[in-house]
Amino acid sequence: FLETLHQQQHEIKNDQRYTLGIFHKEIGTLLGYVFIQDIIRGEKTSAVLDFRIINIYWKNGFAKEAVNEAMKL
């Protein structure tokens, strides 16, 4: 766990990748993750946005909501 945490801190510090948890609004259960990566900053900024939802939570609109919120960042 600590190795993963340190890797994520390194990625954030170097503006390489951001890993965001997706949690159920009412009960706080972890549903998956949104990843913002391959970030290019400059006159035209771009990035790759990816997501992973734990399969028992598929087809409930959680990914759509999470991606819409991540796009606002």
Per-residue pLDDT of the chain (73 residues; tens, 9 = 90+): 899 999 999 999 998 999 999 999 999 999 999 999 999 999 999 999 999 999 999 999 999 999 999 999 8
What is the value of pTM for the model shown?
Answer: 0.82
Q: What is the DSSP letter of 70?
A: H
Give the count of beta carbons closer than 10 Å to the beta carbon of residue 72. Answer: 5
**CB distance 62 to 32 below 8 Å:** yes
Which residues lie closer than 8 Å to 13 by C-beta, 6 or more apart? Answer: none
Tell me how far apart the alpha carbons of residues 51 and 53 are, in angstroms, rounded to a whole number: 7
